[in-house]
Structure 1
Amino acid sequence: MERPLDPEAALHTAEMKALRELAITRFRERGRGYDANCDMPVENIEELHRAGWLRTTLSKELGGRGSNLDTDDPATYLQAQRTIAQGCPGTAHCVQVTNHTAWCLEAIGTKDQKERYLEPMRKRSFLGSFVGSEAKRKHMYMMNTTARKVDGGWVVNGEKNYATNAPTMGFAIIFVALEGAEDYNQNHQMIIIEPGMKGVSMDHTWYRPNGMRATPSSIITLDNVFVTEDQLLGEPGAYPRQRWQGKFHLGFAATYLGATEGMYDWYLDYVRKRGRGRDGIIQMRTGEMKIQLEAARAIFHHAITCWKTKSVVEAELASMAAKSTIAHVAFELSHKIIHAAGSTALFDEFPLSRYLRDLETHVLHAGHDRTAQIIGQSELGESFDSTLQR
């Protein structure tokens, strides 16, 4: 009889325990410097590369750990993501994006593309970026950035934003609309671009948010960029038809959960050291937070399991529910920790204010109202798309 999946098993390996120690010591300590200047967390990235965590979603044949939702091990990469976020949510998101990029490229890329963009990941911290976001986009899958067919390839024009990892990336998968087709199932196309290509420019100074400042996410401008056929990733419409967006819900949920846990664990240590553990109100608030965290962990693990026990759509809906629930728990704990820890805890010498700002900024990605509407549509028997996030 096949043993049921235990999503928590990955947390108890020696490698994961070493990763947690790295995250809550060196990553957390470096966070203040990255945050101040909106810098790439390059030291953290280098350490994660040496330990193999930047390739977690890749197959073992390509030097990875063989963990993603399409394999028999859907948990390891998500638990690693969660663990990194306990120390530095910004670093965790950089890792999430490069792992999602690598996973998709291995699944649908050509042999040449894998050799050009995945093999270098064995040797150095060769980061990928997944760039769909752009200003005034009509729909998640309907792009303003266009590609026009010409002799020998395509000419691409447009402006993309929130290009995570752009300051040090090796390549980016860019979403464009192919001219001549109206429906996104026919015109949505992934193309691979590299820094330094003619017509590609990047603005790294644009990204100055309130939180997640250790995740530089630049503007990329594409001005008559010529791309050859071998720079197209997959067929037109492959990304929406293969439901890739739905596979990424839990990556965000893992970062939300890990950041909330990191903030909570720091808070516990802070109030204990100040002898405030005997205060009845603080005891009650701490108990409330623990209860909420346990609920968040349970729905996270349930959603991971659904990818092996339920249909794809059911797993996507469970992942959306987990992502939204964990985001709300993050907001609740943020509020309670501020009041329980007191104003001194918000001084720059402590990491609490960075956790708060990172969570406040990052959980907006969940699109809570849209998430609730989609889940409501499914419950009421109406049509819905569980890959959407907004």
Structure 2
Amino acid sequence: MSVDFETRVTGAAAVRRVADLARDRFAARAAGYDREAEFPAADLDDLFTAGLLAPTVPAQSGGLGLGPLRHDTHTLWEMTRELARVDLSLARCWEGHANALVLVDAFATGPQRQRWFDGVVRRGEKWVAWSGEPQAPKPGEVRRFGTTVTRTADGWTVDGTKAFATSATGADWAVLLVSLAGPGGARHADAPESVLLLGCDLRHPSVTVDTSWWDPVGMRATASHVVHFDRTPVPAAWQLGAPGDYVRQGWQSAFIPHYAASFLGAAEGAYDYAIRYLEKQDKGGDPYVQQRVGGMAVDLDTARLWLAHVARLWDSGRTAEARVAGSRARHVVEHLALSTVDHCVRACGARSLVRPSPVERILRDLTFYVRHDNDDHLIATIGRAALGRDHDASFFKP
């Protein structure tokens, strides 16, 4: 495979290259990946070949040097938006890969950086960051999720399961967010200082994927299966940072608005379809259709402005403001994106929800993905912050 990492592109050129790939290749594959609930491997391979698979790896290590740690956040989010425009599941896989590499950049030692960044840049290795260990079972669910971590002479062993493990059948490495206090990972850990980040080679024979659980209404191609760890060894040299660093330093807040970039891209995909459909049907003269199109245009402009604002805060080093604004943007863009898709369906009618229309998939994917965080808890957290009360800006715990 010929890889174009020697001709590095950044800024608008990188966004254009992603947009071209999304339009010319990824859009045609999206429906098939969705039907089969299959990880979009060919899309990630194409991004690697184009020299685009290391967006948040520092430039001196061969990457594009994007993201909140590298003071070019907006370019990263624009690339994510272009992917989500044709396939929200693909955007989620990319997003998880990029965010995991931000954590490696933030915490890795010199030898870790050399090993892991080279694997991405030179060999196309794919990364994820997994925290999913829901502790409350749903009605009729008998299985339990969670991991335990045990100290060994050489490092750690991980036992148990992770759910909602995005890219489970396609990733090579994971940043595991686990708790030294037992099952619960990061989101359900009672003691934030117990949260540990471990680099894990997912190709180890002790790591297995259970594909029977992941049969959702949307986001099917994220392949977010249950992953089992059977005393999986993690060398001490693969630990990232110190216990509690992830929570103490508020890293989750850097990724929250990145989800919103994906929401926006999906909404833009619905808008693109609506404009083509309405022109084909010659419905542009209908005043009610005009209202719907106007609503979509305003929703999308508002979402873009919010994300550009939050990106500027991150890139100018105004971290505290960026964290607050990022949560607000995540909340606002969810509702703007859902409103855009609703306008599209109402303007185009029921045929827009009949395959092969992409709107049918966009509606399912977006409705599912915005559940990634509980918006009721999120907006309450924003309120607590505005009132000067204690609040959890990472996981929005009440």
- TM-score scaled to structure 2, two decimals? 0.89
Q: What is the distance in 2 between the residues matched to 1:186 and 1:38? A: 36
Amino acid at match of 2:333: I
Amino acid at match of 1:145: T
SS of 2:292 mapped into structure 1 = helix
Corresponding residue number in structure 1 for 2:140:
none
Instruction: Determine whether 1:67 maps to 2:69.
Output: no
The number of residues matched between the two structures is: 376
Structure 1 residue 173 displacement after superposition: 1.2
SS of 2:163 mapped into structure 1 = strand
SS of 2:391 mapped into structure 1 = coil
SS of 2:215 mapped into structure 1 = coil
Q: 1:121 to 1:148 in 2, by over 3 A?
A: same
Corresponding residue number in structure 2 for 1:250:
257
Structure 1 residue 32 displacement after superposition: 0.8
Structure 1 residue 235 displacement after superposition: 0.9
Question: Percent same amino acid at aligned positions?
Answer: 30
Corresponding residue number in structure 2 for 1:210:
217
Amino acid at match of 2:12: T
Q: What is the distance in 2 between the residues matched to 1:116 and 1:179? A: 30
Instruction: Determine whether 1:350 maps to 2:357.
Output: yes
Q: 1:216 to 1:185 in 2, by over 3 A?
A: same
Corresponding residue number in structure 2 for 1:97:
96
- Structure 2 contact 381–396 (Cα < 8 Å) conserved: no
Structure 2: stretches of 5+ with no match in the other structure: 1-8, 138-144, 183-188
Deviations 1:259-316 (A, max 9, x none): 1111111111111112111112111111122112111111111111122447423211
Which of 357, 368, 384 lines up with 1:377 in the alignment? 384
Corresponding residue number in structure 2 for 1:200:
207
SS of 1:209 mapped into structure 2 = coil
Q: What is the distance in 2 between the residues matched to 1:227 and 1:47? A: 30
Q: What is the distance in 1 between the residues matched to 2:283 and 2:296? A: 16
Instruction: Determine whether 1:287 maps to 2:270.
Output: no
The equivalences for 1:1-390 within 5 A come to 13-136=12-135, 144-179=146-181, 184-309=191-316, 311-389=318-396
Q: What is the distance in 2 between the residues matched to 1:365 and 1:254? A: 14
- Structure 1 contact 270–341 (Cα < 8 Å) conserved: yes
Amino acid at match of 1:124: R
- Structure 1 contact 313–386 (Cα < 8 Å) conserved: no
SS of 1:54 mapped into structure 2 = coil
Q: What is the distance in 2 between the residues matched to 1:179 and 1:16? A: 42
Comparing 351-360 and 47-56, the one that deviates more? 47-56
Q: What is the distance in 1 between the residues matched to 2:136 and 2:191? A: 13
Q: What is the CA RMSD across the aligned residues, in angstroms?
A: 2.2
Q: What is the distance in 1 between the residues matched to 2:10 and 2:294? A: 24
- Structure 2 contact 193–247 (Cα < 8 Å) conserved: no
Structure 1 residue 231 displacement after superposition: 2.5
Q: 1:308 to 1:150 in 2, by over 3 A?
A: closer
Corresponding residue number in structure 2 for 1:5:
none
Q: What is the distance in 2 between the residues matched to 1:325 and 1:201? A: 38
Structure 1: stretches of 5+ with no match in the other structure: 1-9
Structure 1 residue 144 displacement after superposition: 4.4
Structure 1 residue 112 displacement after superposition: 2.5
